[in-house]
Amino acid sequence: MCSPARELKFPHRHLLGIEGLSPVDIAILLDLSEAAIEVSRQVEKKRSTLRGRTLINLFFEASTRTQSSFELAGKRLGADVMNMSVATSSVKKGETLIDTAMTLNAMRPDIIVVRHAQAGAVHLLAKKVDCSVVNAGDGAHEHPTQALLDALTIRRNKGAISGLVVAICGDILHSRVARSNILLLSALGARVRAVGPSTLLPAGIERMGVEVFRDMQAGLEGADIVMMLRLQRERMQGGFIPSPREYFRFFGLDEAKLKLAKPDALVMHPGPMNRGVEIDSSVADGSQSRIREQVEMGVAVRMAVLEALAQHLPNG
Ligand code: CP
Using one digit for the tens of pLDDT, what is the confidence trace for 99-133? 999 999 999 999 999 999 999 999 999 999 999 99
Strand order in the sheet with 191-195: 211-213, 191-195, 165-169, 225-228, 266-268
Q: What is the mean pLDDT of residues 170-188?
A: 97
Quick one: which of 232, 216, 214, 140 has its CA closest to 179?
140
What pLDDT does 2 receive? 44
Q: What average pLDDT score do residues 210-220 get?
A: 98
Mean pLDDT lowest among 72-86, 237-251, 280-294? 237-251
Which phi and psi angles does 149 have, rounded to 5°?
Answer: -70, -30
Question: What residue's CA is closest to ligand 1, atom 5?
Answer: 63
Q: What is the mean pLDDT of residues 200-205?
A: 96
Mean pLDDT of 228-250: 84
280-289, Cβ contacts within 8 angstroms, sequence gap of 24 or more: 280/248, 280/252, 280/253, 280/254, 280/255, 282/254, 282/255, 283/253, 283/254, 283/255, 283/258, 286/255, 288/258, 288/264
Average pLDDT, stretch 32-42?
A: 97
Q: Exposed/middle/buried for 303, CB within 10 Å: 0-12, 13-18, 19+?
A: buried
Distance between Cα 183 and ligand 1 center (Å): 19
Q: What is the DSSP letter of 142?
A: B
Q: Residues lining ligand 1, CB < 6 A?
A: 63-66, 137, 143, 146, 270-272
Of residues 104, 89, 47, 52, the one with CA closest to residue 72: 47
Whose CA is closest to atom 1 on ligand 1? Answer: 270
- The answer on pLDDT for 6 being more than 60 is no
CB 3 within 8 Å of CB 32:
yes
Percent pLDDT > 90 in the chain is: 87
More confident residue, 25 or 85: 25
Q: What is the mean pLDDT of residues 133-150?
A: 98
Residue 238: per-residue pLDDT: 67
Alpha-carbon distance of 243 to 258, in angstroms, equals: 22
Length of the chain: 316
Angle at 19 between CA 70 and CA 99, to 5 degrees: 55
- pLDDT averaged over every residue in the chain: 94
287/285 Cα distance (integer angstroms): 7
Mean pLDDT over 233-262 rounds to 88
Q: So what's the pLDDT on residue 227?
A: 98
CB atoms closer than 10 angstroms to residue 103: 12
At 1, the pLDDT band (50, 70, 90 cuts) reads low
Query: Would you put residue 237 in left (φ > 0), alpha (ψ -120 to 50) or beta?
Result: beta
Type of residue found at 80: D
Mean pLDDT within 24-52: 97
| Range of weakest confidence among 54-68, 110-124, 221-235, 262-276 | 221-235
Counting ligand 1 atoms within 8 A of each CB, the residue from 57, 58, 59, 64 with the most, and so the one to mutate, is: 64
Per-residue pLDDT averaged across 283-301, rounded?
A: 98
Locate the DSSP E strands across 33-79. Answer: 54-59
Position 43 pLDDT exceeds 50: yes
**10 band by pLDDT with thresholds 50, 70 and 90:** very high
* List of residues 6+ apart from 102 with CB closer than 8 A: 128, 129
pTM of this structure: 0.95
What is the position in ligand 1's atom list of the atom closest to the CA of 143? 3
